Structure 1
Amino acid sequence: MTAVPRPWLLTLAALAALATLSTNILMPSLPLMAQTLGSGEAEMAAVLSLFLAVFAAAQLVVGPWSDRIGRKPVVLGGLAVFIVGSALGALAVDLPLLLTGRALQAMGAAAASVLARAAARDRFDGPQLAALLGRIMVVMAAAPGFSPLLGGLLQAAWGWRAPFVLLVLAGLALAAAYARIVGETLPAELRRQQPAVALARGYAVLLGDSRFMRPALATAAILGALFAFFGTAPLVLVRQYGFSALQVGLFFATSVFVVFAAGRAAPRWSARRGGPMVLRLGAGLAACGGLAMLAAGTLDLAGFAAASCVFLFGMGLVSPTGTALALTPFATQAGQASALLGFLQMAVAAALTTTAATLPAARMDALALVLAGGGLLAWLASPSGRSPSARPEKEKGAPQGPPFRD
């Protein structure tokens, strides 16, 4: 297996984590934003929901656009839009201006997230792609794990605008790193010139292809459950276990290590047993974690933490494995396939997060039902059979050259 240069890996991981960082780093500041801008907490919910909606829709555009003109101009253009949106957020004096900035952030983050996966697919497939995605996911896990803690510290030191300033600096640093380290990963001869009708037909083909849809739906279900976990678990920790904001941040920070272990195991197990088997194993563990959490409602904090770890480990197996299985057969339309995968993930995330917040049950019970349901849906969607450990047959026109830019 070709070794992945660490700067290349870290750059793609940072691109993929940008959307999660942009949302979770603001969580501790929402009440203070509402007070400063004269808005109610219900109105401030749009700061999150608008971002998710724009992010989901934008992915359907930036993916195929990059298949047409190349990855580099779309990534750098997206990061420029993200920087402008972050600056508007830092300067916002009312809610409409803040929401405008958040919408621009979402557009830019969509380009970064989609094309991090597409760039990985441009260079790898099969077990190599699963290994690379697993390593990217490990780095990505630090974003939801540490960003609320970071956001709270920044707000305490310099106010709620400080996280937006940090996002401006992050966008600038990522643009420089991508241009210098990764560059263009899609050669001109492999770009696809598609009119709108062909683009729609391409999405229809992907939606009708079980090689894409089954692992894509499994991944979307498990990541949707993960978003519900990050949205609801803080309420459980504060209300049921009396956690402070700092303790909540530390709880999520420790979750990184569980995901790290799963991300390291997933590619090795996939090479031995096949991706579909690992996908089903991870989905089953995630569902078991949710079921265990139902029991944890009458137990102590250790029971809740253990159930959370089981879910997170299962999620860590499903995410890179399902993404690799979904993208591997589609080398010549990796941008479009990655875009549709991202759209499905955000759509399911929005649905499951809303479900966890509105179920007529105690918050922990609602969360547990969503985690178990997401794991079960992922298990049902998982493809059967055993994927070959060898590299699959290349699609016509798939890149055959060296895996990294000189």
Structure 2
Amino acid sequence: MSGQHQAVASNSVMATQTGTQLTGKVVALLAGLSAISILSTNIILPAFPDIGQELGVSSRELGLTLSSFFITYALAQLVFGPLADRFGRKRLVLGGLSLFVVGTLVAGFAGSLDMLIAGRVIQALGVCAAAVLARAIARDLFEGETLARALSLTMIATATAPGFSPLLGSLLTTALGWRAIFVMVGIAAIIIAFFYARGLGETLPPERRTAQSVPQVVGAYGRLIADGRFILPGAAVSLLMSGLFASFAAAPAILMSSMGLSSLQAGLYFAATVFVVFAAGMAAPRLARRYGSRTVATVGLTTAVLAGCLLLVGPSNPGLGWYSLSMVTFLWGMGLANPLGTAIAMGPFGKEAGLASALLGFLTMGAAAITTWLVSVLAYAPVSTLGVIQALVCLVALIMFFSSTQIEKRAARY
């Protein structure tokens, strides 16, 4: 980090062994890189009726704009990770954000569904670099407890973006039309790129970079998958996050169709849930210092399982109060477990931070694609479907994380 950054360290809350300090500026940049990807994922949902009317397609056909984004996003991460380990973070971040802006222009000027999908694919190709490298940059700069805190604060932005984005998308569509959504996210990407280049820049010096051939990259991914220190907590975090995406996919049917909320009311509801994520993200590192990261993450996963069970034992058409109880319970558990589990998975792999972050992102988006698809196709009451999915994926996540803890304890004994 530059001397200018060290001067900002008066606002620092922690320092690592490398001397880099976790300042408000660093947190804001990491959060921006992470949040722009999630923001661009579902901000267009409230605009589906307007887009469909103008382009002459159904809302179901517009679902392709989401699935194409998810699939491209998941697969592209596997490429950006090793490239970032070889060429450094800065070129990949700025190049990815530039590509995202190009995709935003294509989508914003789209006159057909095919052009809109093409724009969304280009968007996903570019923005996934920012999301992958936000975690890798955090691992470059921090370790241990400070890494957990950095990821906690970044997670707040990642988890709150889908809470605010439907509301923001609804307001922009109502006031300026659906194309204004793409103008807004494009401007946001340009601002993030500017402040990243000026304020953070390259975090992986040349001596720490690794150049690998395609077979070596495939082998490195294979070793990560086979390493219980990574794959068990990493898969647990991915499954947990897939429960969050499932809740957003089910929300329109639950809140608007079943409970009669308007799109604006539903947007305000999700915006209100952001405060739960914020509180949990702030509490996670403090609780981890006192009780240990693994203990707190285990409690968080158990809490998330309980949230799914609340939906299963309650009425099939619950009132807003019961549904909110489950939602708050899940978000609190997720807010505790996600940053700590991510830090545990990434911690031992500083030299392969790009690869590890890419694989973790792939697992998360892959799991999210499956759970959101299940929410859409299963012909059961939306609340029951969401309850089964959340309870099941979080229970599997809890088992996997518990297994990783046992492996860690056995390794410590020897």
Q: What range is the shorter-chain TM-score in?
A: over 0.9
Instruction: Show the counterpart of 1:300.
Output: 319
Does residue 116 of the first structure (1) align with residue 134 of the second (2)? yes
Instruction: Show the counterpart of 2:389.
Output: 370
- For 2:407 and 2:282, the matched residues in 1 are separated by 20
Conserved? CA contact 1:276–1:387, under 8 Å: no
- What is the one-letter code of the residue matched to 1:113? A
SS at structure 2 position matched to 1:281: helix
Conserved? CA contact 2:228–2:407, under 8 Å: no
Q: CA deviation at 1:16?
A: 0.6
Listed as ranges, the matches of 1:70-149 within 5 Å are: 70-149=88-167
SS at structure 2 position matched to 1:141: helix
Q: TM-score of the superposition, structure 1-length normalised?
A: 0.93
Residue among 267, 276, 288 paired with 1:249: 267
C-alpha offsets along residues 58-114 of structure 1, whole Å, 9 cap, x if unaligned? 000001100000000000000000000001111111111111110110011110000
Residue among 371, 377, 384 paired with 2:405: 384
Residue among 65, 82, 90 paired with 1:64: 82
Q: CA deviation at 1:261?
A: 1.2
SS at structure 1 position matched to 2:405: coil
SS at structure 1 position matched to 2:204: coil
Conserved? CA contact 1:20–1:144, under 8 Å: yes
- For 1:387 and 1:264, the matched residues in 2 are separated by 26
Moved over 3 A (4+): 385-388
Q: CA deviation at 1:385?
A: 4.8
Between stretches 208-217 and 1-10, larger displacement belongs to 1-10
- For 1:60 and 1:379, the matched residues in 2 are separated by 25
Residue among 184, 201, 207 paired with 1:166: 184
Does residue 189 of the first structure (1) align with residue 207 of the second (2)? yes
Q: CA deviation at 1:288?
A: 0.2
Q: CA deviation at 1:386?
A: 10
Does residue 235 of the first structure (1) align with residue 253 of the second (2)? yes
SS at structure 2 position matched to 1:93: coil
Instruction: Show the counterpart of 1:328.
Output: 347
Does residue 312 of the first structure (1) align with residue 331 of the second (2)? yes
C-alpha offsets along residues 229-276 of structure 1, whole Å, 9 cap, x if unaligned? 011122101122111111100110011111111111111222222222
Conserved? CA contact 1:274–1:386, under 8 Å: no
- What is the one-letter code of the residue matched to 1:384? T
- For 2:41 and 2:212, the matched residues in 1 are separated by 33
Conserved? CA contact 2:22–2:146, under 8 Å: no
SS at structure 2 position matched to 1:194: coil
Does residue 343 of the first structure (1) align with residue 362 of the second (2)? yes
Between stretches 263-272 and 105-114, larger displacement belongs to 263-272
- For 1:246 and 1:40, the matched residues in 2 are separated by 21
- For 2:319 and 2:65, the matched residues in 1 are separated by 34
Query: Percent of aligned pairs with the same residue?
Result: 44
Q: TM-score of the superposition, structure 2-length normalised?
A: 0.91
- For 2:60 and 2:259, the matched residues in 1 are separated by 25
SS at structure 2 position matched to 1:183: coil
User: Residues 208 and 387 from structure 1, CA distance in 2 versus in 1: closer, same or farther, beyond 3 angstroms?
Assistant: closer
Q: CA deviation at 1:387?
A: 7.4
User: Residues 213 and 130 from structure 1, CA distance in 2 versus in 1: closer, same or farther, beyond 3 angstroms?
Assistant: same
Figure out how many residues of one structure are paired with residues of the other and give that number. 389
CA RMSD of aligned residues (A): 1.5
